[in-house]
Amino acid sequence: MAAEEYASVWTRPKRKRREQPALSQKQIVAEAIKLLDAEGLEALSMRKLGAALGAVATAVYWHVANKEELIELVVDQIYGEIEVPEVTSPDEWRAAAEACAESFRGVILQHPWMGSTLAEVGLTYLGPNMMRVSDRMLALYEGGGFSLLEANQAATTVAAYVLGVASTEAATLTKLARSGLTADDWMTKVWPAAEQAAQDYPRMKELYAAHRGHDIVGGSEDDFKYGLARILDGLEPRRER
């Protein structure tokens, strides 16, 4: 029995039609991203997308068979925003890896729904941007002195760290946006309750006291850089010299 073909918008044969469809795939993807950025993944539906485009949902279905295929398209579009520096010397790999990780984080923070979506699928999408960016990430680590197989392991490790941390940051920023509070307002409202809850736990009490008035946005940046630096420190001895 032949193996069942992997179901994906990238593997499904393109539909043929004599007349030009009313909507282009580019229009559909752009509008879907606008909806996702504004309202999140849960709010996206083919009907709502069709309404936003001024078309019936069937016009959208000409390009995508279902919502899953639509998500594949928008994820690939956003993944293409990640910048991966070229490494021309092994000494450049760390700075390039840091820049790539920062770019990946920035993309997730700009599109908060992206983190949870990538975490769910495990980076298994097959789109051209996903392939191109992944190939360039491998080249970055190969250029730093890693073998191809270990370049993949190193890139995957860093990407998993970025995805985990940035997804949490994105969730916090989304919650803030929906509350209508600024970060300072939220800290003023929540921090006293957090300090009160920590009264019986000396280390947590001291930690909360040390962070009173702390910039949670700037603090997240510092925490991200700290974790990334420690991962790259661990990868450094693995390079083939």
Segment 149-199, tens digit of pLDDT:
999 999 999 999 999 999 998 888 888 878 887 878 878 888 888 889 999
The CA-atom distances, in angstroms, between 93 and each of 27, 89, 109, 219, 233 are: 37, 7, 24, 26, 12
Per-residue confidence (pLDDT) for residue 172, from 0 to 100: 83
For the record, the structure tokens of 79 come out as 């993944």
Residue 121 pLDDT > 70:
no
Whole-prediction pTM value? 0.86
Q: Which domains does the chain have, with CATH numbers?
A: 1-79 (1.10.10.60), 90-180+211-238 (1.10.357.10)
Torsion of CA 140, 144, 145, 148, to 10 degrees: -10
pLDDT for 30-74, tens place per residue?
999 999 999 988 888 888 998 888 877 777 888 888 888 899 899
pLDDT at 2: 47
DSSP tag of 17? -
Side-chain-side CA neighbours of residue 34 (13 Å): 11
Query: How does 13-24 read in b/e, with b if 16+ C-beta sit within 10 Å?
Result: eeeeeeeeeebe
> Are 70 and 57 spatial neighbours (Cβ–Cβ below 8 Å)?
no
Reported for 210-214, long-range contacts at CB under 8 A and 24+ positions apart, including other chains, are 213/187, 214/187
